[in-house]
């Protein structure tokens, strides 16, 4: 500008394509401006020359600029760098400014070149944003590969959208099938303002779910559809929002919502990438669904929905540890299933299989672990068994009980004769595989031999066979009246007189002779046969008393033993009442003995029975005291008259100080409760004398008499024998 008057330089200045001007550093007024500047900023030359450089700056910056000017007026405003300028129409542009101090028309001026870089900068910005979105896309794709859980994937996607994608907020909500509402499952970034339910339908996410297409709002301040939600969104700094439905099949299963602080971020290029991202997420969901389905198929039988062999074997393995006790693996085969298929068709067979599965899975507790492991082969476990025999009972009563019911095929009823093979943990194998092999062998033997079920271990089968035979014989014994009663006298220590007799059952076995109760009462209790046997005893004792009375014997009360099973029997009182009435036996001629276990196994029912018997004036004894775990104080609620001290303490009462102490304590406590103490199993004079010293009231035992036949006992009574 040294040759300002030089026409050619002047023209060069005017014609230069880059906007240029000269302004006065003191007044900030323009002194010269070229054509490019006039055109670019939209003023006429006169208008431009009437301005100061402050007029080119955005109005928002002016206060700050004026402040700067005061402190450093001479440094000039147009330092080299990028500045924001305002055109005549108010639009803002980014300008890269180069300036130079200059003496112009004798004044201190600045010569300025102002290169508009708005487009370049926006391009760069856009590339930077796109790069972020691409980084987000790749982050999400790697999450899709890594993450197998839907919610975890959603959370990671939101996290990436804010950290990598630069969005202010990202959230994913699931949508129900009817798209009635949103359920936010993942969120990252700033919190969204709460949305009242009545405004929910305005929210982009719900609109995207319902319309199954992306909803974009590039300027929250302008978009009319968002008007009701505008203020709270803007208050939190949000400027733009877009919602992308995640479509699986024909449904939007979830919506990804992204919010930005910059209006207009969702341009065509960015939306293209974000669509791709939403598509990838949706595909991942579909994939996760399929995978869940696949893993279901890998572990379940499709037809019955029962666990398959693989899952069953896993569960069985988990069951097998030393603390589980005996675990039985049972393989059940539906007998003659192929004939059923042949005769009625495959669909009939399938229907039966489905019904079998339903019965087993719905009516057995979960602990049975039912599975279908082959065509007509089912597997189950019988856990927490005390012994192998329990498995047989559970199988018979529960499993076969269910499977033996007829199956309905249309109007037809069919029956299926199932068979089973059992292997027991730990005896027959320590691992699932061995147990399977052995249960299969047992099943094969059962099918070959025609047995309903067989254990793998032959000794189990032998023991079971013996038990079964015994059960059968007991039943027969009852029918053929092979039971007899014996009577053992109980004597009063003070007077020496017989005060009562305990009625003790014997089984007059056709081959084995007289069998004691120790050999069959337990089995009778387990099989429930104790109920008819017990009822028979009550009748037999009443009949005996009546017979002795008729024969003129000066009888004493007879004590009948009641087992726990009888105690729990609702009809017990009726049975007793009926027997006493039938034989015209008065109260006071019959007593009952119950062990602590019998009472405590069903305390409420026992208390009900005992109180009712007590009201009838029937004396009651607590039998075998000292062998259980209850204290006398606990047993106080039951109306006993006698406590029978178990033989195990009596046998050592004269030789073992501990037994003496225990017997003494029991007697003292018995007395403190106002009851009488009876010593059982007294065999020697020495025992008797210690018991007398301990103030025992009565005794029973071989020392005075063994259990006697009715005739022998009557003779004893007639004799008037005393201690």
Residue selected from 156, 428, 624, 697 as contacting Mg ion according to rule CB under 5 A = 624
For ligand C2E, the closer of residues 34 and 700 by Cβ is 700
- The span from the CA of 80 to the CA of 362, in Å, is 84
Would you list the DSSP string of 429-469? Answer: -SSHHHHHHHHHHHHHHHHHHT-SEEESSHHHHHHHHHHHH
- Cite the DSSP H helix spans in 164-303: 204-211, 227-235, 268-299
Q: Which residues pair with 374 in a beta bridge?
A: 377
DSSP state of 400: I
Closest contact distance (angstroms) between CB of 328 and ligand C2E is 29
Half-sphere exposure of 710 (CA within 13 A, CB side): 18
For ligand C2E, the closer of residues 33 and 521 by Cβ is 521
Positions that interact with ligand C2E (CB under 6 A):
488, 504-505, 516-518, 521, 534, 537, 561, 563, 593, 623-624, 647, 680-683, 700-702, 707
For ligand C2E, the closer of residues 9 and 702 by Cβ is 702
Closest contact distance (angstroms) between CB of 563 and ligand C2E is 4
Binding partner selected for residue 569 from ligand C2E, Mg ion, none, CB under the kind-specific 5 to 8 Å limit: none
Strands (DSSP E) along 370-442, which ranges?
371-374, 377-385, 407-409, 412-414, 418-425
Closest contact distance (angstroms) between CB of 392 and ligand C2E is 24
Is the preceding peptide bond at 442 cis, omega within 30 degrees of 0?
no
Closest contact distance (angstroms) between CB of 589 and ligand C2E is 17
Closest contact distance (angstroms) between CB of 627 and Mg ion is 9
Task: Collect all residues with Cβ–Cβ distance below 8 Å to 601 and sequence separation of at least 6.
Answer: 564, 567, 568
Binding partner selected for residue 621 from Mg ion, ligand C2E, none, CB under the kind-specific 5 to 8 Å limit: none
418 binds Mg ion (CB under 5 A): no
For Mg ion, the closer of residues 187 and 644 by Cβ is 644
Contact, 670 vs 649, CB < 8 A?
Answer: no
For ligand C2E, the closer of residues 333 and 624 by Cβ is 624
Binding partner selected for residue 619 from ligand C2E, Mg ion, none, CB under the kind-specific 5 to 8 Å limit: none
Binding partner selected for residue 537 from Mg ion, ligand C2E, none, CB under the kind-specific 5 to 8 Å limit: ligand C2E
For ligand C2E, the closer of residues 595 and 660 by Cβ is 595
For ligand C2E, the closer of residues 326 and 530 by Cβ is 530
Closest contact distance (angstroms) between CB of 707 and ligand C2E is 5
- The span from the CA of 245 to the CA of 249, in Å, is 12
Binding partner selected for residue 390 from ligand C2E, Mg ion, none, CB under the kind-specific 5 to 8 Å limit: none
Q: Which stretch binds Mg ion (CB under 5 A): 471-479, 487-495, 558-566, 652-660?
A: 558-566
DSSP state of 398: I
- The span from the CA of 109 to the CA of 202, in Å, is 57
- The span from the CA of 190 to the CA of 681, in Å, is 86
Alpha-carbon 69 to chain mean position? 74
Binding partner selected for residue 591 from ligand C2E, Mg ion, none, CB under the kind-specific 5 to 8 Å limit: none
List of long-range contacts for 157-164, beta carbons under 8 Å, 24+ apart: 157/186, 157/256, 157/281, 158/186, 158/187, 158/188, 158/189, 159/188, 160/136, 161/136, 161/188, 161/189, 161/256, 161/258, 162/188, 162/189, 163/188, 164/132, 164/135, 164/136, 164/139
Residue selected from 78, 591, 593, 596 as contacting Mg ion according to rule CB under 5 A = 593
For Mg ion, the closer of residues 383 and 681 by Cβ is 681
Q: Which stretch binds Mg ion (CB under 5 A): 75-83, 370-378, 520-528, 621-629?
A: 621-629
For ligand C2E, the closer of residues 156 and 680 by Cβ is 680
Closest contact distance (angstroms) between CB of 691 and ligand C2E is 12
CA-wise closest residue to 682 among 460, 520, 491, 511: 491
Residue selected from 428, 623, 659, 697 as contacting Mg ion according to rule CB under 5 A = 623
Contact, 83 vs 117, CB < 8 A?
Answer: no
Contact, 276 vs 137, CB < 8 A?
Answer: yes
Binding partner selected for residue 505 from Mg ion, ligand C2E, none, CB under the kind-specific 5 to 8 Å limit: ligand C2E
Closest contact distance (angstroms) between CB of 575 and ligand C2E is 13
698 binds Mg ion (CB under 5 A): no
Closest contact distance (angstroms) between CB of 682 and ligand C2E is 6
Alpha-carbon 213 to chain mean position? 39
Closest contact distance (angstroms) between CB of 495 and ligand C2E is 20
Binding partner selected for residue 681 from Mg ion, ligand C2E, none, CB under the kind-specific 5 to 8 Å limit: ligand C2E
Tell me the C-alpha to C-alpha distance, in Å, between residue 273 and each of 131, 132, 157, 249.
Answer: 10, 10, 14, 21
Contact, 600 vs 568, CB < 8 A?
Answer: no
Binding partner selected for residue 671 from Mg ion, ligand C2E, none, CB under the kind-specific 5 to 8 Å limit: none
561 binds Mg ion (CB under 5 A): yes
- The span from the CA of 147 to the CA of 142, in Å, is 9
First CA to last CA distance, the chain: 151
Q: Which residues pair with 559 in a beta bridge?
A: 502, 591
Q: Which stretch binds Mg ion (CB under 5 A): 229-237, 423-431, 674-682, 705-713?
A: 674-682
- Per-residue x/- marks for Mg ion, 630-669, CB under 5 A? ----------------------------------------
For ligand C2E, the closer of residues 156 and 593 by Cβ is 593
Binding partner selected for residue 563 from ligand C2E, Mg ion, none, CB under the kind-specific 5 to 8 Å limit: ligand C2E
- The span from the CA of 544 to the CA of 166, in Å, is 100
Q: Of residues 101-130, which lie at the interface with Mg ion (CB under 5 A)?
A: none
Binding partner selected for residue 349 from ligand C2E, Mg ion, none, CB under the kind-specific 5 to 8 Å limit: none
Closest contact distance (angstroms) between CB of 475 and Mg ion is 25
- The span from the CA of 20 to the CA of 34, in Å, is 6
Task: Collect all residues with Cβ–Cβ distance below 8 Å to 716 and sequence separation of at least 6.
Answer: 489, 498, 705, 708
For ligand C2E, the closer of residues 445 and 488 by Cβ is 488
For Mg ion, the closer of residues 628 and 639 by Cβ is 628
Which residues in this chain contact Mg ion in the complex, by CB under 5 A?
561, 593, 623-624, 680
């Amino acid at each position: 500008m040294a040759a300002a008057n030089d026409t050619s330089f002047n023209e060069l200045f005017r014609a230069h394509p880059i906007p240029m001007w000269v302004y006065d550093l003191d007044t900030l007024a323009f002194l010269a401006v070229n054509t490019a500047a006039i055109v670019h900023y939209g003023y006429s030359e006169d208008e431009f020359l009437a301005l100061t450089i402050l007029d080119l700056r955005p109005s928002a910056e002016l206060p700050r600029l004026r402040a700067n000017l005061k402190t450093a007026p001479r440094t000039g405003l147009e330092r080299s760098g990028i500045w924001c300028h305002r055109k005549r129409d108010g639009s803002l542009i980014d300008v890269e400014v180069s300036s130079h101090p200059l003496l112009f028309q004798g004044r201190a001026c600045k010569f300025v070149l102002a290169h508009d870089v708005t487009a370049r900068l926006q391009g760069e910005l856009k590339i930077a944003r796109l790069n972020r979105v691409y980084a987000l896309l790749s982050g999400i794709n790697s999450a899709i590969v890594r993450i197998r859980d839907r919610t975890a994937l959603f959370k990671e996607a939101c996290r990436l959208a804010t950290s990598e994608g630069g969005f202010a907020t990202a959230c994913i909500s699931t949508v129900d099938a009817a798209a009635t509402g949103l359920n936010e499952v993942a969120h990252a970034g700033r919190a969204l303002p709460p949305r009242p339910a009545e405004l929910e339908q305005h929210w982009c996410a719900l609109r995207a779910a319902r319309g199954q297409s992306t909803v974009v709002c590039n300027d929250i301040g302008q978009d009319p559809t968002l008007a009701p939600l505008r203020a709270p969104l803007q208050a939190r700094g949000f400027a733009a929002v877009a919602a992308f439905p995640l479509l699986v099949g024909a449904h939007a299963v979830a919506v990804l919502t992204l919010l930005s602080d910059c209006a207009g971020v969702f341009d065509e290029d960015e939306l293209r990438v974000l669509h791709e991202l939403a598509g990838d997420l949706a595909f991942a969901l579909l994939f996760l669904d399929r995978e869940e389905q696949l893993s279901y198929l890998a572990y379940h039988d499709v037809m019955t929905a029962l666990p398959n062999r693989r899952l069953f074997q896993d569960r069985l393995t988990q069951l097998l540890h030393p603390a589980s006790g005996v675990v039985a693996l049972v393989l059940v085969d539906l007998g003659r299933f192929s004939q059923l298929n042949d005769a009625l068709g495959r669909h009939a067979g399938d229907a039966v299989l489905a019904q079998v599965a339903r019965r087993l899975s719905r009516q057995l507790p979960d602990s049975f672990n039912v599975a279908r492991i082959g065509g007509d082969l089912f597997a189950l476990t019988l856990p927490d068994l005390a012994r192998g025999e329990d498995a047989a009972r559970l199988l018979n009563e529960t499993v076969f009980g269910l499977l033996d019911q007829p199956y309905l095929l249309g109007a037809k009823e069919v029956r299926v004769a199932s068979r089973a093979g059992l292997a027991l943990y730990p005896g027959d194998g320590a691992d699932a595989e061995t147990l399977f092999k052995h249960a299969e062998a047992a099943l094969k033997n059962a099918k070959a031999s025609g047995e309903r079920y067989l254990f793998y271990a032959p000794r189990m089968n032998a023991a079971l066979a013996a038990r079964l035979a015994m059960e059968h014989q007991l039943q027969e014994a009852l029918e053929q009246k092979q039971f007899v009663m014996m009577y053992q006298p109980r004597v009063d220590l003070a007077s020496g007189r017989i005060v009562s007799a305990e009625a003790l059952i014997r089984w007059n076995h056709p081959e084995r002779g007289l069998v004691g109760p120790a050999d069959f009462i337990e089995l009778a209790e387990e099989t429930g046969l104790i109920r008819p046997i017990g009822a028979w005893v009550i009748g037999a004792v009443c009949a005996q008393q009546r017979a002795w009375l008729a024969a003129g014997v000066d009888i004493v009360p007879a004590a009948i033993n009641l087992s726990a099973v009888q105690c729990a029997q609702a009809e017990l009182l009726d049975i007793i009442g009926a027997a006493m009435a039938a034989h015209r036996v008065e109260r006071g001629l019959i007593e009952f003995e119950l062990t602590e276990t019998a009472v405590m196994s069903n305390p409420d029912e026992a208390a009900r029975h005992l109180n009712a018997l007590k009201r009838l004036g029937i004396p009651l004894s607590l039998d075998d005291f000292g062998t259980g775990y209850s204290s006398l104080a606990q047993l106080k609620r039951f109306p006993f008259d006698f406590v029978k001290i178990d033989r195990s303490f009596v046998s050592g009462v004269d030789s073992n100080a501990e037994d003496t102490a225990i017997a003494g304590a029991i007697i003292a406590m018995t007395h403190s409760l106002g009851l009488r103490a009876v010593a059982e199993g007294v065999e020697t004079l020495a025992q008797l004398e210690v018991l007398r010293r301990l103030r025992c009231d009565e005794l029973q035992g071989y020392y005075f008499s063994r259990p006697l036949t009715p005739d022998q006992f009557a003779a004893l009574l007639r004799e008037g024998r005393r201690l």
